């Protein structure tokens, strides 16, 4: 009974008014940091490399923690209270689940190691306490890496989530207790309990945020996609096309445009009807999208109208886009559309043109017009062909 009384006294002590105020501050910092992360991904992804973007996103949790630490120091007469350290751990753990960014692991690992060195220099602990702190630092890194890798599956299972936050909190406090050698078992358990309760509240809020975000993403995808083929529509193409064109003009980030259309498509509609024509469009789209995923080509497929399609290849030169285009055309050749009334199948081919943006392209229409002319060169050469800046290749 005495142990329970000690635990209850410790729990009421760590849950003071300033803790609740600090928790609301954490929620605000998390919201602002998430908005900053979304802004960077939307506005900077075409202006910086993917590696630079990863480092920028990975630094967001660290900056959020430093912001909170400044607030806590100001509120505690230039001293960081033991009971408020949990608030900083909440930020680190929350972003492990949300961002799933490996660079964050680097920053968190460096933070753990840096704090360990700092605590050892301050306290000069015994061998036993030093070993416990080192074990805690190693556990922080390993558990953080596991959470980052399996974030989605952990979030979707309450017991896994509870187990992970319990392990995460214990790992950090094994190391942090080095700074507080007189901490009691009751207070240690109270601090862990406080962390679990706060993370539970964060989890409930995050479930709501994730549902709203998924709904928003679904709406965005539906608005920007072609109803028949589920490829991105012309409006989406115009938006992305202008975005990557401006990114190249400002920062010379390479990208290429592929335009293609289905050979003899009008004849297919006239001969077999629009239902067969629709099936051709859907199967071609499915083939191209599967190829883009399988080849990891970073291409976005757009239906521009009728049987004409476009693919924007981010961060690809013309020759790299040509390699992807040839694989795409090869896979389209394998499409077989059944014709019920003739008991036969219809083979499909496409004609295409491709080019990268060049320094002499003063406006977006310069590039689009050039690629469009390459497409018509392919059609005039007998169709089922690919034209680039240097050559036209016909496929049998």
Residues annotated as part of the active site: 307
Q: How far apart are CA 334 and CA 258, in angstroms?
A: 20
Angle at 24 between CA 178 and CA 203, to 5 degrees: 80
Give, for 191, the enclosing helix (H) or strand (E).
helix 185-223
Structure tokens at 278: 């629709």
Residue 64 contacts residue 25 (beta carbons within 8 Å): no
Q: How far apart are CA 89 and CA 136, in angstroms?
A: 14
Per DSSP (E only), the strands in 190-254 are none
Three-state DSSP at 49 gives coil
d(CA 242, CA 270) in angstroms, rounded, equals 36
3 state SS of 5: helix
Question: What whole-number distance in Å separates Cα of residue 20 and Cα of residue 117?
Answer: 31
**How far is the C-alpha of 190 from the C-alpha of 22, rounded, in Å?**
17
Instruction: Residue 84: name the closest of 175, 174, 191 by CA.
Output: 191
CA distances from 166 to 76, 153, 291, 367 (A): 27, 17, 43, 56
């Amino acid at each position: 009974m005495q142990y329970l009384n000690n635990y209850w006294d410790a729990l009421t002590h760590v849950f003071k008014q300033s803790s609740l105020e600090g928790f609301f501050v954490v929620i605000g910092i998390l919201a602002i940091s998430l908005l900053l992360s979304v802004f960077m991904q939307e506005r900077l992804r075409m202006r910086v490399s993917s590696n630079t973007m990863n480092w920028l996103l990975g630094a967001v949790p660290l900056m959020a923690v430093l912001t909170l630490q400044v607030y806590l120091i100001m509120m505690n007469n230039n001293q960081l209270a033991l009971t408020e350290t949990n608030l900083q751990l909440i930020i680190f753990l929350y972003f492990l689940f949300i961002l799933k960014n490996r660079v964050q692991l680097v920053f968190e690992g460096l933070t753990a190691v840096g704090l360990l060195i700092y605590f050892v220099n301050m306290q000069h602990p015994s061998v036993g306490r030093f070993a416990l702190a080192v074990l805690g630092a190693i556990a922080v890194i390993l558990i953080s890496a596991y959470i980052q890798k399996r974030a989605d599956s952990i979030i979707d299972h309450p017991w896994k989530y509870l187990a992970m936050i319990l392990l995460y909190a214990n790992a950090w406090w094994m190391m942090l207790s080095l700074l507080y050698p007189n901490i009691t078992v009751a207070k240690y358990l109270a601090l862990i309990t406080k962390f679990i309760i706060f993370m539970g509240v964060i989890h409930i809020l995050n479930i709501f945020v994730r549902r709203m975000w998924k709904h928003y993403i679904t709406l965005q995808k539906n608005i920007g996609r072609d109803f028949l083929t589920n490829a991105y529509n012309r409006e989406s193409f115009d938006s992305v096309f202008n975005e990557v064109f401006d990114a190249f003009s400002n920062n010379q980030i390479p990208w290429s445009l592929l335009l293609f259309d289905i050979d003899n498509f009008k004849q297919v509609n006239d001969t077999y009807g629009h239902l067969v024509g629709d099936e051709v469009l859907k199967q071609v789209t499915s083939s191209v999208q599967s190829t883009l995923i399988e080849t990891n080509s970073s291409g976005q497929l757009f239906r521009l109208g009728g049987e004409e399609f476009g693919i924007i290849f981010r961060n690809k030169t013309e020759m790299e886009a040509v390699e992807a285009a040839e694989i795409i055309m090869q896979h389209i050749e394998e499409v077989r559309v059944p014709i019920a009334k003739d008991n036969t199948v219809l083979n499909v081919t496409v004609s295409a043109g491709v080019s990268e943006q060049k320094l002499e392209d003063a406006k977006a229409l310069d590039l689009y017009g050039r690629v469009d002319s390459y497409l018509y060169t392919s059609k005039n050469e007998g169709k089922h062909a690919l034209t680039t800046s240097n050559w036209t290749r016909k496929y049998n």
